[in-house]
Amino acid sequence: MVRTTTSRTTTAGRRVLPLLTALALLAATLAVASLLGGSYRASPDAVLRSLLGEGTPADDVVVLGLRLPRLCAALLVGAALATAGAVFQTLTRNPLGSPDVIGFTTGSATGALAVVVIGVGALSPAAGAWLGGALAAGVVLLLTRGAGTGSDRTVLVGIALAAALASVNDYLITRAPLEVAQVARTWLFGSLAVTRWPDVAVLAASLTVLLPAVFVQARTLRVLDLGDDVAAALGVPLGRSRVVLVLTAVGLTGTATAAAGPIGFVALAAPQLARRMLRAPTIPLVTSAVTGAVLLLAADLAAQRLLAPLQLPVGLVTGAIGGAYLLWLVVRAPGSR
């Protein structure tokens, strides 16, 4: 078994660079399509001039003011969600253990909605999203204490909590004024349409801190994936490591949710796709982040183009794809027959 794992790890290591190169080229292609297309057609020359600071006012408004921040936000939100999904799936040792399934994304949405609708002190929606996700994680860990994060009980409790929090979110919307309720309902679908540079700046600043904090724990995650007994024997402080990883992943989830609303599927699918593409024994963090960024960028481009000139919230596109992916995952699971 050790030889098999070592062999799979070596094979995955050789595949990392070619796969990341391919994903980067795909992201570049999608980015070009995102900047050029749309109801306002901008030529490649016009886009290039705007990027170089020499564009016309009309081109600058569309390219620099609308499309470029949306593109950047899609990449950052996708990377944040995929990394959070990789952490939670590794801790739970379950491909369903992503933040959108086990309630943490819904908890972040509840926190942000509570700030917007009710008003909670001087908190911002972003802070509310982080606090809501942390409280949801705390509830799940409290209700599953003694069972360990690697048990199926964690996933089941998280699903139940997500359902309860979804009802809370609907109630909060009924309490809001009509204008606020309409905006909140659109935000709950998950959308990048109104993302602007200040949102991108907050995302970038947060991820500059949170992503490295997760990546430096990559070895700890790999050891935790082997089981609690093995991790303890290798000297990993189980309690402290789990708390740090959970809080960091919740921070990533809250940051992404505050910027774009609760977007499903990306955190669920990106880590597993990255693992399958590399044929790796464990979930690769960096590859998962890049895969999530490309997935969300592709989904947002589809949301803009599928029913043009009508634009769909990207959360509806990822939700539809995620439902199909979840069915496929369940059917392929051992013992599903």
CATH of the domain at 91: 1.10.3470.10
> What distance in Å separates the CA atoms of residue 228 and residue 238, rounded to the nearest whole number?
7
Q: What is the pLDDT of residue 324?
A: 78
Residue 60 structure tokens: 């600058």
Greater confidence, 141 or 163? 163
Task: Assess if residue 287 is contained within a domain.
Answer: yes
- Whether 247 is in a domain gets the answer yes
Give yes or no for a contact between 230 and 263, defined as CB atoms under 8 angstroms apart: no
Predicted local confidence at residue 2, as pLDDT: 43
The answer as to whether 161 is a domain residue is yes
Residues in Cβ contact with 278 at an 8 Å cutoff, skipping those fewer than 6 apart: 12, 15, 16, 19, 284, 287
Q: Is residue 337 part of a domain?
A: no
Q: How many domains does the chain have?
A: 1
Give 245 or 309, the one with higher predicted confidence.
Answer: 245
Q: How high does pLDDT run on average in the chain?
A: 84
Spatial distance between the Cα atoms of 291 and 285, rounded to a whole number of angstroms: 10
Quick check: is 323 in a domain? yes
Indicate if the pLDDT at residue 160 is higher than 80.
Answer: yes
pTM of the model: 0.89
CA angle 290, 251, 319 (to 5 degrees): 60
CA gap 261, 126 in Å, rounded? 10
Question: Is it the case that residue 8 has pLDDT exceeding 60?
Answer: no
Q: Supply the pLDDT for residue 45.
A: 86
CA dist., res. 258 & res. 306, Å (int) = 25
- Calculate mean pLDDT across residues 141-159: 75
Do 90 and 150 touch, CB atoms closer than 8 A?
no
Query: Would 171 be classed as within a structural domain?
Result: yes
Report the alpha-carbon distance of residue 98 to residue 89 in Å, rounded.
Answer: 6
Q: Is residue 233 part of a domain?
A: yes
Q: What is the pLDDT of residue 84?
A: 95
What is the span of the domain harbouring residue 308? 2-332
